[in-house]
């Protein structure tokens, strides 16, 4: 690791001020992506601003039909929170599949969404549920937030403070985890919210994306058969040592069907 | 450099560290607690697993400055936490020994810390819970079969 100065601000204002004062400062949340990146000398921040304990970034609550989760909420907290498990069980189930226990005990919602790894799980939930990403400056709709591999609408010095998830009538996430890391080789989140179906795919393409053909097919008929009838064009999908693009194209259908079967076979209509 | 005060295996300690110093480096080099192993240094293998305020973490992926005021337990503190004199092994250590849940032993300290964490959340885990709970720990020798056996035996010993 290159040298840096670690600072632990006492408030969100102070954190924002520190980021504004130091061009090369970076927020540090759970550190589960940032610390490995620093160890490989792939980044050289002047300062790390530790935001993990800021009270403004913590907490889980349901208000006005939305589940609101602070950016510094750890994966384990989302996975085990009774509030999340009751209001949005598919999100709790998703969080319980991230990485491993050690990673879930440190990693945070805001860190994962800000990082926007093309194989990360949370971005699929944020996009499929049509969530709103709040920062200290503004509110950003999920459709505008994710902008491709490791790229988001977040600007220099901007901090995700919380994410507001509208509560779906039914939702489920299914993923094919990479056997070593747990990251999604492909993951599909299906959600019906306010009568509208949205389907988001992570891991398969260059960044999370909405699968419009699946959304249209499910709006016609909300059943696994609607997905199975679709043809997925593999061009533009990811190909790497783990799987060719055709394999991921097939996984999209398999996982969307699994998510639908989970929804339609469960009494609560919301498991992963 | 900064001073960091923390509790390690029940004892308060204060160390002077560079901000980029990892918790694993403090444990091994400043405090001589070399039971915490470094297997990969890329956050994958879990050999460096310790408990931070009672929860499992990979100590190679935590900065020492992040744990100011917190409490760390390493493999060296496990038996004494169970038996004040430290004369007896912790049941998880005992079960690993009896079930032959190790060969070279390199992964073992991290594996045992992960298992004690798993048993806090699931005192009587089934196979799936054990496999899911140990996903962050790699073993290159045993094939895991005897590790799973040891977890079940330890769970029984701890219930008795
Ligand atoms: C072994 C391993 C396995 C993993 N498996 C999975 C998996 O299966 N699925 C998955 O989705 N992820 C996985 N991850 C990644 C993990 O979920 C990380 O926790 C997550 O990507 C980053 O969150 P963090 O809180 O640790 O962020 P950090 O590492 O602290 O930060 C990540 C980036 O986001 C920025 N940032 C952090 N918080 C904010 C904020 N509030 N506002 C603006 N910017 C911010 C930081 O500056 C940094 O650039 C894995 C990681 C490891 C090490
Ligand atoms: S040494 Fe920490 S995870 Fe391998
Ligand atoms: S016993 Fe050798 S790595 Fe596990």
Mean pLDDT of chain A: 96
Do A9 and A46 have their domain in common?
yes
Angle subtended by helix axes B145-159 and B108-121, to nearest 10: 50
Residue ranges of domains in chain B: 2-76, 82-159
3-state secondary structure of A185: strand
Q: Which domain holds residue A170?
A: 58-264
CA–centroid distance, B47 to ligand 2, in Å, is 5
A80 belongs to a structural domain: yes
Ligand 1 pocket test, candidate residues A115, A183, A186, most atoms within 8 A of CB: A115
Q: Is the pLDDT of residue A1 over 80?
A: yes
- Which whole number is the average pLDDT over A202-207? 96
Tell me whether residue A272 is in a domain.
no
- Judge if A26 and A70 occupy the same domain: no
pLDDT value of position A271: 46
At B15-55, the pLDDT tens digits run 999 999 999 999 999 999 999 999 998 999 999 999 999 99
Ligand number nearest CA of B109 is 3
Are A183 and A111 part of one and the same domain? Answer: yes
- pLDDT per residue over B113-154, tens digit each? 999 999 999 999 999 999 999 999 999 999 999 999 999 999
Which 77-116 residues of chain A touch chain B by CB within 8 A?
99-103, 105-106
B124 and chain A in contact, CB less than 8 A: no
Distance of CA A81 to the CA centre of its chain: 17
A116 and A93 within one domain: yes
The residues in A 29-68 lying below 8 A from B, measured between CB atoms, are 31-32, 35-36, 38-40, 48, 50, 52
Tell me, yes or no, whether A44 and A148 share the same domain: no
pLDDT above 90 (res A266): no
Per-residue model confidence (pLDDT) at position A270: 47
The matching CATH number, chosen from 3.10.20.30, 1.20.140.10, 3.40.30.10, 3.40.1010.20, for B2-76 is 3.10.20.30
Second-level CATH architecture of B82-159? Orthogonal Bundle (1.10)
Same structural domain for residues A90 and A158? Answer: yes
Name the residue with the closest Cα to ligand 2, atom 3: B43
Residues A23 and A79 in one domain: no
Question: Are residues A94 and A140 both part of a single domain?
Answer: yes
Residues A17, A93, single domain; the answer is: no
**B118 inside 8 A of chain A by CB:** yes
pLDDT, position A269: 44
B133 touches chain A (CB under 8 A): yes
* Mean predicted lDDT score pLDDT of chain B: 96
The total domain count for chain A is: 2
User: Does A20 lie in the same domain as A152?
Assistant: no
Q: Is residue A271 in a domain?
A: no
Tell me what percent of the residues of chain A surpass a pLDDT of 90: 96
DSSP secondary structure letter of residue B63: B
Where residue A222 sits, what CATH number does that domain have? 3.30.465.10
Q: ipTM above 0.90? A: yes
pLDDT above 90 for A261: yes
Strands of the sheet with A132-135, listed across from one edge: A60-63, A66-70, A160-166, A132-135, A139-141
Q: What is the CA radius of gyration of chain B?
A: 15
Q: What is the mean pLDDT of residues B62-86?
A: 92
Residue A186 lies in a domain: yes
Q: HSE on the CB side for B89, CA within 13 Å?
A: 13
Q: Given this model, what pLDDT does residue A272 score?
A: 43
Smallest CA-to-CA distance from B31 within B75, B89, B81, B87 is with B75
How far is it, in rounded angstroms, from Cα A125 to Cα A115? 15
């Amino acid at each position: 690791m290159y040298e840096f100065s670690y600072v632990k601000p006492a408030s969100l204002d102070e954190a924002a001020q520190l980021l504004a004062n130091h061009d090369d400062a970076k927020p540090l949340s759970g550190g589960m992506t940032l610390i490995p990146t620093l160890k490989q000398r792939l980044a050289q921040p002047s300062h790390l601003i530790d935001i993990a304990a800021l009270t403004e970034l913590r907490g889980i609550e349901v208000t006005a039909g939305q589940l609101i989760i602070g950016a510094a909420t750890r994966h384990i907290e989302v996975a085990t929170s009774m509030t999340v498990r009751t209001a949005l069980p598919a999100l709790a189930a998703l969080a319980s599949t991230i990485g491993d226990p050690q990673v879930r005990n440190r990693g945070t919602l805001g860190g994962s969404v800000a990082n926007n790894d093309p194989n990360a799980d949370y971005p699929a939930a944020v996009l499929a549920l049509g969530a709103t990403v709040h920062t200290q400056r503004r509110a950003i709709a999920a459709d505008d937030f994710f902008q491709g591999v490791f790229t988001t609408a977040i600007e220099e010095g901007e901090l995700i403070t919380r994410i507001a998830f509208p509560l779906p009538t039914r939702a489920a996430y299914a993923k094919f985890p990479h056997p070593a890391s747990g990251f999604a080789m492909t993951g599909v989140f299906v959600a019906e919210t306010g009568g509208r179906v949205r389907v988001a795919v992570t891991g398969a393409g260059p960044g999370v994306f909405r699968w419009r053909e699946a959304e249209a097919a499910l709006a016609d008929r909300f059943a696994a058969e609607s997905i199975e009838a679709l043809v997925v064009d593999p061009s533009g999908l990811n190909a790497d040592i783990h799987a060719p693009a055709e394999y991921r194209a097939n996984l999209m259908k398999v996982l969307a069907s699994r998510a639908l079967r989970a929804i339609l076979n469960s009494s609560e209509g919301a498991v992963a | 450099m900064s001073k960091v005060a923390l509790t390690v295996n029940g004892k308060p300690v204060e160390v002077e560290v560079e901000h980029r110093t990892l918790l694993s480096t403090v444990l091994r080099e400043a405090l001589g607690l070399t039971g915490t192993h470094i297997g990969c240094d890329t956050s994958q293998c879990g050999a460096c697993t310790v408990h931070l305020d009672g929860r499992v973490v990979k100590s190679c992926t935590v900065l020492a400055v992040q744990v100011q005021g917190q409490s760390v337990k390493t493999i060296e503190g496990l038996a004494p936490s169970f038996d004040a004199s430290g004369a007896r092994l912790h049941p998880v250590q005992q079960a690993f020994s009896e079930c032959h849940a190790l060969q070279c032993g390199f992964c073992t300290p991290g594996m045992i810390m992960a298992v004690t964490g798993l048993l806090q959340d699931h005192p009587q885990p089934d196979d799936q819970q054990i496999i899911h709970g140990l996903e962050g720990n790699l073993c290159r020798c045993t094939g895991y079969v005897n590790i799973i056996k040891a977890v079940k035996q330890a769970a029984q010993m701890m219930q008795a």
